[in-house]
Amino acid sequence: MFQVIGYVTNAHAAMLLRILCFISLATLSAVPAELPASERIAARDYPSVFQAWNGAKPLPGQSEADMLARHDLAFVHPSQLGLRSEEPFEGTAFKFTAASVAAAREHRTKLLAKNPHMVLLAEVRYRDAPKGFIPENAPWWKRDGAGAFIMGWAEGGYRLLDVAQEDWQSQVVHRAKAVMDTGVFDGVMLDWWNDDASRVSLIRRVREAIGGDALILVNANDREIPQTAEYVNGLFMECYRSATPEDWSRISDTLRWAETHLRSPRINCVETWFHQSRNDFVLMRSVTTLALTQSDGCCLFSDPNDLPTADHLHDWYAFWDKGLGLPLKPGVKRVDGAWERGFTNGVVIYNPPGGVPVNVQLASPQRSRATGRVGTEFTIPSGDGDIFIRK
């Protein structure tokens, strides 16, 4: 209610009310409208990096939210954006507190203000889980012949869930829809994915429940998933094998398959792990340029899972800073075996391992992201890649 305090005429009060309304509308109009996920994906600048659960080490002066927003796609546990349920078991928590939904939506709004092209996905756990995820006596735990729990993800001490059970699938579908109904996320992420009959049934039901516009990302590592491709927007390629030329060839083949066979809009995400340290810059450049030349997806170079720290932690590399612009056309494989792709502001070269160094000749001087050198002629070793930005 508008209240006039002191000696103010009705005319003055009406004028003041109009001024306040004008200010409010102007403030609202200053906040950019959120684009649909498909438009955010299509219009983003490159390189494009994603976050798998855990984030990047903060750069000087950067907050945790700043670092998260540097990623064009992030999949997280719903609680990482603030969602909370009053129900005791996460696996059967289908309602979130009003306060947490409001806080999570505000968190989303702030992230998209920092990066208007960001896409946010919620992990929906279905394959295994820690003790306490569902009641101890729930029939959905997978047990052996003696009734003992069967272990899933050993590092986390997770127990397997019985994905084949229709009743458990119903719980997962209900959970996926509940998370999406909050308005906080653009889609869901399903871990540990392959094309068995149980998952074919599950993903059909999830897609039907969350609708055609919601995004679905699945972790199939470096494998193709032809039976569930029509329901999936992207592969999370958690590529734990990247030591040999054959490994990199398999990653490349699967990524290019996913770019042509999965549902649009596509959100393929390729991750490799360091071999010695986060300073394995050649490996970082390789996965980045592979993703840039052979997909419209995202990349990540992170810690290996066998470290005692949280999985998928990583540094932020200057090599990943924006500036390439949009791709002009699909990448092509050159006669020397390297891959090349043009962007509005430069060109990217990926030279797969197992070959020979390749020579790059550019029509105009460009700056190498790998070395900082400006020129028209460069050499890229086997198993490396580079980004060249026009001056």
Query: In Å, how far from its chain's centre is CA 269?
Result: 7
What's the CATH number where 374 sits?
2.60.40.1180
What does the pLDDT read at residue 266? Answer: 98
Examine the domain organization and report whether 329 and 206 are in the same domain: no
Query: Count of domains in the chain?
Result: 2
Mean pLDDT of 60-73: 98
| pLDDT score recorded for residue 204 | 98
Asked if residue 291 and residue 201 are part of one domain, the reply reads: yes
Place 4 in a pLDDT band, splitting at 50, 70 and 90: very low
| Residues 367, 234 within the same domain | no
Does 269 fall in a domain? yes
| Assigned token pair, 139 | 């029939």
Band of residue 30 on the pLDDT scale cut at 50, 70, 90: very low
For the ranges 9-13, 85-89, 268-272, the lowest mean pLDDT is seen at 9-13
* Residues 69/75/80/82 CA torsion (nearest 10 deg): 90
What pLDDT does residue 23 have?
Answer: 35
23 found inside a domain: no
**pLDDT, mean of residues 364-380:** 98
pLDDT digits (tens, 9 = 90+) for 176-216: 999 999 999 999 999 999 999 999 999 999 999 999 999 99
Domain assignment present for residue 289? The answer is yes
- Give the domain extent around 292: 44-127+163-322
- Judge whether residue 44 has pLDDT over 60: yes
Whether 330 and 251 share a structural domain: no
User: What is the structure's pLDDT at 231?
Assistant: 98
Q: Band of the pLDDT at 22, cuts 50, 70, 90?
A: very low
Inside any domain, residue 91: yes
Read off the CATH number of the domain in which 274 is found. 3.20.20.80
Model confidence at 12: pLDDT above 80: no
Report how far residue 93's alpha carbon sits from residue 172's, in angstroms, rounded to the nearest whole number.
Answer: 10
Q: Is residue 208 part of a domain?
A: yes
Segment 270-294 shows an average pLDDT of: 98
pLDDT tens, residue by residue, 225-261: 999 999 999 999 999 999 999 999 999 999 999 999 9
Residues 255 and 309 placed together within one structural domain of the fold: yes
Q: Judge if 330 and 310 occupy the same domain.
A: no
Q: Is residue 156 part of a domain?
A: no
Tell whether omega for the bond before 47 is within 30 degrees of 0, i.e. cis: yes
> Would you state the pLDDT for residue 33?
79
Q: Is residue 2 part of a domain?
A: no
pTM reported for the whole predicted model? 0.91
Residue 145 has a CB neighbour count (10 Å cut-off) of 5
Does residue 7 lie within any of the structural domains? no
| Helix (H) or strand (E) run with residue 248 in it | helix 245-261
